[in-house]
Structure 1
Amino acid sequence: MTDSNVSFLGRISLAVGTFFSILGDGEFAARVQRLRSGAPVTQAPVAAPAPTPAPQPAAPALKQASPDAALQLLGLLQRDARFIDFVEEDVAGYSDADIGAAARVVHGGCRTVLREHFTIRPVREEAEGSRVTLPEGFDATAVRLTGNVVGKAPFTGSLSHRGWRVDDVRLPKLAASHDASVIAAAEVEL
């Protein structure tokens, strides 16, 4: 695949990553804005020195994740919501109304799977938009600071997203012979 021919899923991944980079990095956002306006991007404007960023926690030791649970979840989303069928479909030829109708079915099925197999609750109980103060030693894995992050805690800001936390996982048990990589069996009608 060439740079000028990025797949649909590749474009979704790029869009989501770029979205969060723009939110978290003002300089990157300015470069994207210059690129969209047609201005040259190679020469960044000279700016005042950036304030000292807040210290970042030490990188945690990485552990190897087993793909079986992720594959099982994909299988459940496919079974109950036709998630993979929807994402893999080229929707360019469909009307917005058709896509919206399909998305409603996929959304309902995904929601059913999440509620059946996970207990999910917000990380923060306050309403979005509320002012919150994070004390020194706050859990940086549960709360991500965005915007102009300088100095050290306590930090006071506006809660833009409450976050999500999984309290319980209830995935079905699998037989030892089960091939988790087959997330949806092929169907042959006789």
Structure 2
Amino acid sequence: MRLGLALRAFWRAMFDPRVAERVALALDGTDPVTPNSVTFSPVIAEQKPAEPVKPKSLQSDAVTLLAALQRDARLVDLIHEDLDQYGDDQVGAAARPCLKQCRQTLDRLLVIKPLVEAAEGQSIPVDAAASSARVRWVGESAGATEGKVVHAGWQASQVQLPAWSGSEGDAMVIAPTQVQAS
């Protein structure tokens, strides 16, 4: 490495007097940049370090969440089951463990909290500029600045979905086919 550097410095100093002056100052141990000396120094624009680019996941967040709900609670199986062939007590018995596990999965991945800390039926003030994503009026609301909570709403205070590491061809798979040796 030093030999290559020496050869580069030699050839640059041979053909560029400004480089020769800087090399001479460096060899003499003199600081080439002093307030009293005028030396050539190329202006290099200061570059900000590039922010790391997060690669776009091949699997959508919706499929990732649905796959987690299927894996943990078999939600898709329950939804796609023909429930007409079962009695209400059987559907309820099947739904209870599924719903409990869905809640645990959502709490783990999304940390879901109420949008407002108010009980149903409690009156709350509503800002006229409130986002329709946060407040939805039920019934007549012209000019109202206060309303009774019908539903407190939900928000995810944290999202921690697992990163997809599979292939592009498998990105839309919610659950794999399960097979048993025959």
Tell me if both proteins adopt one fold, taking TM over 0.5 as the criterion: yes
Q: Report the Cα distance in structure 2 between the residues aligned to 1:97 and 1:136, rounded to whole angstroms.
A: 46
- Structure 2 equivalent of residue 180 of structure 1: 171
Residue 100 (structure 1) shift: 0.5
Residue 67 (structure 1) shift: 6.6
- 1:156-167 matches, within 5 Å, as 156-167=146-157
| Aligned with 1:100 (options 85, 88, 92) | 92
* Count of residue correspondences: 123
Identity across matched positions, percent: 37
Q: Report the Cα distance in structure 1 between the residues aligned to 2:167 and 2:59, rounded to whole angstroms.
A: 16
Q: Report the Cα distance in structure 2 between the residues aligned to 1:127 and 1:157, rounded to whole angstroms.
A: 12
| Aligned with 1:109 (options 77, 101, 113) | 101
Gaps spanning 5+ residues in structure 1: where? 1-65
Computing the radius of gyration from Cα coordinates, the structure with the larger value is: 2
Cα deviation code 1:124-152 (max 9, x no counterpart): 1111110112133223321111111223x
Q: Report the Cα distance in structure 1 between the residues aligned to 2:131 and 2:117, rounded to whole angstroms.
A: 15
Residue 121 (structure 1) shift: 1.1
- Structure 2 equivalent of residue 83 of structure 1: 75
- 1:27-46 matches, within 5 Å, as none
Residue 167 (structure 1) shift: 1.2
- Structure 2 equivalent of residue 60 of structure 1: none
- Structure 2 equivalent of residue 171 of structure 1: 161
SS in 2 for 1:168: coil
SS in 1 for 2:60: helix
Normalized against structure 1, the TM-score is what?
0.60
CA contact (8 A) 2:72 2:105 kept: yes
Residue 76 (structure 1) shift: 0.7
Normalized against structure 2, the TM-score is what?
0.63
Q: Report the Cα distance in structure 1 between the residues aligned to 2:136 and 2:161, rounded to whole angstroms.
A: 28
One-letter identity of the residue aligned with 1:114: L
Q: Report the Cα distance in structure 2 between the residues aligned to 1:170 and 1:90, rounded to whole angstroms.
A: 33
Gaps spanning 5+ residues in structure 2: where? 1-57
Matched, 1:71 2:63: yes
- Structure 2 equivalent of residue 132 of structure 1: 124
